[in-house]
Amino acid sequence: MKRNIVIAAVTAAALVGGGTATAVAVSGDDAPTTTDQAETRGPDDDGRDDRRDDDRDNLDDLDDLDDLDDDSRALSADVTAAEAVAAALKHRAGTAVSVVMDDDDDDHRGRTAWKVDVLGGGTWHSVWTDPSSGKVLGSERDDDDDDDDDDDTAEARAALKGTSVTAEKAARAVAAKGTVTSVELDDDTKAWEVGTVASGGDDREWRVDPNSGEVTADDTSVELDDDTKAWEVGTVASGGDDREWRVDPNSGEVTADDTSVELDDDTKAWEVGTVASGGDDREWRVDPNSGEVTADDASDDRDDADDRDDR
């Protein structure tokens, strides 16, 4: 079933874009598919869906507040991220792979602290350092024996093999850009990702080369799309305009990723978003049976109605 959905989605995008689109969907289900019956919805289903959406939005807002709190704690800390890493490694020998400001009530008796993840041999330890005194509050060994830990260990070792820039050095290299709030090893780019916050509250992301120590603004995002099996890359221009790109993992060919495809549960049609070269975005509806493409001008009306409901 998943294969049918993916292929139909890409076909819808091709119909709107006027080009050719391909996709590879991995599924173990090769059995013939049957026609699904229409979903039966009760009168309260829409209300429950709205409440679930509101709950998810509230959780996202709480996550944003947590980030702001962590930034504030880092700004007010007497001990820097780099100093926390140095203290942690004196307590627990190994390689520091990340450092973040942590206030998890389940850790270090609920006290806010710098949390440093240390890889020693094949074992992971978390070490907590007081952000005021630099004293180590405690450490904990990760005793989970699973494949994920093995993968993390292998990826960290591969990324840092033969490099000279440690997490501590990466934090010190970026310190001139603002107060360092986090340092983490990116397994995909094989670089240190460092977060900073300025006194005015502006936060930024930076990338530190683990070999040269060169610091560059991390204004891009790179993710592997499980459906298209391609790299999706987001960029931000100096003027602030952001774009999405698709990179073929075999040929390296770069194409603008100017479409979005979603199945509308209400209309049972594919909704396809496009962006023209001039920057104008449009919404289209593709009939899943006939393939007919129509302008989805009603989406703007629905958005306006939603805004009125929110008010």
Tell me the mean pLDDT per 10 residues along the chain, length 311: 42 45 36 38 50 46 49 91 98 96 68 93 92 94 73 90 96 96 91 92 91 87 79 70 82 79 84 72 87 77 55 54
What pLDDT shows up at residue 195? 95
Q: Which of 245, 243, 248 is nearest to 228 (CA)?
A: 248
Query: For residues 112 and 130, what is the distance between their CA atoms, to the nearest angstrom?
Result: 7
Angle at 110 (CA atoms; ends 71, 78), nearest 5 degrees: 45
CB 213 within 8 A of CB 169: yes
The answer regarding whether domain 68-216 maps to CATH 3.40.50.300 reads no
Provide the residue ranges of all domains of the chain, joining segments of one domain with +: 2-25+227-310, 68-216
Q: Which of 32, 9, 31 is nearest to 22 (CA)?
A: 9
What pLDDT shows up at residue 120? 92
CB 153 within 8 A of CB 119: yes
Query: For residues 79 and 93, what is the distance between their CA atoms, to the nearest angstrom?
Result: 20
What pLDDT shows up at residue 203? 86
What pLDDT shows up at residue 236? 66
Tens of pLDDT along 49-102?
554 444 444 434 434 434 447 788 899 999 999 999 999 999 999 999 999 998
- Phi-psi label, residue 309: left if phi above 0, alpha if psi -120 to 50, beta otherwise: alpha
